[in-house]
Structure 1
Amino acid sequence: MSVGGRSADQTQGGARGFHTTAASLKADDFYSVLGVKRDASQAEIKKAYYQLAKKYHPDANKEASAKDKFLKIQEAYDTLSDEAKRRSYDQFGTADPTGGMGGGPGAGFGGFENMEDILSQMFGGAFGGGGMGGGAQGRRTGPGRSSGMGGFATVGEDIEAVATVSFMDAVNGATTTVTITPIVKCEPCAGAGAKKGAKRHTCSVCHGTGQATFTMGGFHVQQSCPQCHGEGWTIQAKDQCASCGGKGRVRERKTVPVTVPPGCDSGMRIRLAGLGDAPLEGEGTPGDLYVRLRVTPSSVFRRKGADTYHTAQVPFTTAILGGSVRVPTVDGDVEVKIRPGTQPGEELRLRGKGIRKINSTVRGDQYLGLRVKLPTQMSERQRRLIEQFAEEEEEGKGGAGPRSTPQPEKDGSKKDDDKKDSDKKDTGFFSRIKKDIEEGFGKKKPKDDDAK
């Protein structure tokens, strides 16, 4: 089809390209037209093209020569931006070794996607992708989306769902489900939008080309047809599929199983390929489903990465005398040794008792905070034992009165004898107290203080 001295051909990618029909630009050196060196990179060529195109576009430049200059810039860029055409041009002085410069697909305007980029930059995105009912299709963003004006995305949109799992399911791994409503191809009409046996009619606006032509600043520009949305055909209302209303797409509610890997945490996303929305038009691949995990907190553990934290109650007799306590871990209860003289607030580290790191065999640690539990009620005998302990503790500290400063001895024999007597006294004191407390509070002798 020839429009306004230019012809519109179908490019290999399915988009409509524009080019001049005359060979009036043959004599021009394309590198000089764009102002780049012959060894310029594609990035340099594209940058020069954008700058010149915006400068000389007839809608932005009202000089009489701007139109011809703009056409030269377009043809130069179309040739040099295509590596095959550029090699032919460098070797033969033409992009077409058989002779013609114009007339090839995409010449002149360099394919409408390039033109759209220029117009979008010049006019603030007025020529960007539109939605259903008008404007260009296929400008949706997302992984794998690609299409210029007049085309459509070949990959559907990604969707997201949220799955709530328990703390222990996140630790050990589990299988859960999510309910989604993705856009899918209508089954009754197989995505065609028409009743079975109904005929589709050639679009009266674009005459089956899928492209609509309009004039802007003296130039004929094409975009996706607003009537048929680039399909090239329409369906009469009486022939439309009752299930999808002629759209060829519906939303379908479905429940999807999700495998939760061990070691996952809140905020992590699991990708399920191909379970997202189907493309709104044409054939293509559905997008992906991303399941975001929400882990419910535990009443027993706190978590930080792969490490867990737990606070254990320790009887004061165990803290004084030593022993063991049974504490929970993500793998079950274990016995942990408590050394004699353990102080409130101390923290033990249980190596390898934390959470398995995701996609790994390495495990974190469990940190065990110790809280000494004091008795709230005591028998008279227990009270006497504690009082006896307190009295002997004071005596051991010299609480009866101020100590005299020891005088140096001429020989160390007396000092050594005093030390031996003191050691015997201390040993006897702790033995008695330990025995009394064990008998008074019914405690057994302590076991090992390692986690078992």
Structure 2
Amino acid sequence: MQSTRVAVARSTRFVNVARAPHSRFRRLPCVLSVTSTLSATSIHTASTCRRLVNCRTASERSARRGFHTTNIDRASQDFYDVLGVNKDASQSEIKKAYYQLAKKYHPDANKEPDAKDKFVKIQEAYDTLSDENKRRSYDQFGTADPTGGGMGGGEGAGFSGFGNMEDILSQMFGGGFSGMGGSGRGGAGGGGFVSVGEDVEAAVTISFMEAVKGTKTSVTITPVVKCQPCAGQGTKKGARRDKCKTCRGTGRAMFQMGGFHVQQPCPECGGEGSTINPKDKCSSCGGNGRVRERKTVPVDIPPGCDNGMRVKLQGLGDAPIEGAGPSGDLYVRVRVIPSKIFRRKGADLYYDLSLPFTTAILGGTVRVPTVDGDVEVKIRPGTQPGDELRLRSKGAQKINSSVRGDQYLSLNVKLPKKLSTTQRNLIEQFEADVQGKPPSSDSDKQSSTTKENDSSDATDKQKDEDSDKSSGGGFFSRIKKDFEHFKGSSDK
């Protein structure tokens, strides 16, 4: 048998019931120490296991995996019974029950000997039932982790080894175990602790063009700030804070939780090490030293900002509830109203361009809208439906860069729904020319019905050919001229 001692130092958040009018959590250092007499083959800290696992034999490792301790009291507890809710309770009911019980049994507010143990069970039950995945696993297996030992809710459930207790303590105090003889991240072994304010998030809605070009706007927020009359001290002018008699100015208090000794912020002074006489409290902040202030903050939206992006304004978030640490940051989430003209993918823009079929066949120039204004674009003859043209550097600007994306034109060929007799004859003649067939004219149709002699047909055909040659260019040239004439009439 040997004694295993684990020290945990971890910055965490606690609710100071007497000093938290802003419903904010305080970030203060917490030190937890564990003293237990258990077999070395049954329970080890994570770091110890990492150092010794390679030195054990396979049988020892197998025996270690097969052994687990069971907390009978915890195994007999059902999480739903702990919170006093039904198994089909909604999340709002679970949250409401948790807040009521946590407020009642929190060590800062309840000095009864068993209050701390009840608070741990309440916290454990809420952490499991407030997470849908953990709750589903708990309902099915009696534990939030079906691969490990249970923690209540199922028959014969317990916790396997030290790992699950580590998870519970991590959830309670916002940290993890530091290993043998070491100190936790950001804890007492790491030097002084600096409290940092919470981040604040706001949202603005801008148009598509404002997002592409950039704009200036503003948001209204109510961050936590230092009380100006008392300069954040919480006392009246000329009054002084008294040294806390409970923690003797250290700001920390030790309490026992089962077999654990947990060091947490002093419940009397909230971890400050000093208290304020009620008659000396600042009338503006009630002794808290912090108030909420409504302010309007200007926001510069950079060019190229896209929907869902966030603009960070450093130091404009909440001031820390306690201490003189830096304020948090303000994050402004940008919502962009979609454009009715353009589609956007990153820095590239897309525009659907409809072309008359005559322009697609013969070519020409068209005017196209861009974010910089209309531009003329040349269309090559023989353009096909679905072809794509690229206008370089006509897209949105890339964030933190002077480079711009491109604008792509998706070409759609627009076909007429109705044709006049002349237009239809032209199309039929064009089709016949493409297929290498002689053009069928009205005279040809009548000659087939009246059965005129072949010599007359041959003479007419020769006259037509001579006429085409004399006009210069042949049949296709005439078709092209007719198409150009048809294009002009359709444009009008």
Amino acid at match of 1:198: A
Residue aligning to 2:422: 384
Residue aligning to 1:332: 373
Alignment partner of 1:166 out of 192, 195, 207:
207
Tell me, what secondary structure is at the counterpart of 1:226? Answer: coil
1:428 paired to 2:474: yes
Alignment partner of 1:287 out of 323, 328, 336:
328
Given the two structures, how large is their TM-score scaled by the length of structure 2? 0.54
Amino acid at match of 1:313: S
Deviations 1:332-354 (A, max 9, x none): 11111112222222221222222
Alignment partner of 1:393 out of 403, 413, 431:
431
- Determine the C-alpha separation between the residues in 2 that align with 1:203 and 1:51: 43
Amino acid at match of 1:157: E
- Determine the C-alpha separation between the residues in 1 that align with 2:402 and 2:227: 45
The alignment yields a C-alpha RMSD, in angstroms, of 4.5
1:359 to partner: Cα distance = 1.9
Amino acid at match of 1:368: L
Structure 1 residues 393 and 214 mapped into 2: Cα distance closer, same or farther (>3 Å)? closer
Structure 1 residues 146 and 287 mapped into 2: Cα distance closer, same or farther (>3 Å)? farther
Amino acid at match of 2:215: A
- Determine the C-alpha separation between the residues in 2 that align with 1:120 and 1:202: 39
Alignment partner of 2:244 out of 193, 203, 214:
203
Amino acid at match of 1:393: E
The answer to whether the 8 A contact 1:157-1:288 is kept is yes
The answer to whether the 8 A contact 1:153-1:279 is kept is no
Structure 1 residues 203 and 316 mapped into 2: Cα distance closer, same or farther (>3 Å)? same
1:229 to partner: Cα distance = 0.8
Q: How does 1:184-203 map to 2 (within 5 A)?
A: 184-203=225-244
Residue aligning to 2:386: 345
- Determine the C-alpha separation between the residues in 1 that align with 2:309 and 2:472: 59
Q: How does 1:125-144 map to 2 (within 5 A)?
A: 125-126=168-169
Tell me, what secondary structure is at the counterpart of 1:329? Answer: coil
1:218 to partner: Cα distance = 9.1
The answer to whether the 8 A contact 1:147-1:153 is kept is no
Residue aligning to 1:108: none
The answer to whether the 8 A contact 1:324-1:338 is kept is yes
The answer to whether the 8 A contact 1:353-1:363 is kept is yes
Higher helix proportion, which one?
2
Percent identity, aligned pairs only?
A: 60
Tell me, what secondary structure is at the counterpart of 2:366? Answer: strand
Residue aligning to 1:354: 395
Given the two structures, how large is their TM-score scaled by the length of structure 1? 0.58
1:126 to partner: Cα distance = 4.5
Tell me, what secondary structure is at the counterpart of 1:432? Answer: helix
Amino acid at match of 2:435: K
Structure 1 residues 206 and 322 mapped into 2: Cα distance closer, same or farther (>3 Å)? same
- Determine the C-alpha separation between the residues in 1 that align with 2:32 and 2:488: 98
Structure 1 residues 394 and 16 mapped into 2: Cα distance closer, same or farther (>3 Å)? closer
Deviations 1:206-236 (A, max 9, x none): 2333222445689976432111111122223
- Determine the C-alpha separation between the residues in 2 that align with 1:50 and 1:334: 67
Q: How does 1:318-329 map to 2 (within 5 A)?
A: 318-329=359-370
- Determine the C-alpha separation between the residues in 1 that align with 2:196 and 2:481: 79
Residue aligning to 1:257: 298
Stretches of structure 2 lacking an aligned partner (at least 5 in a row): 1-27, 34-44, 53-68, 70-161, 175-184, 440-465
Q: Which has the higher contact order (CA 8 A, sep 6+)?
A: 2
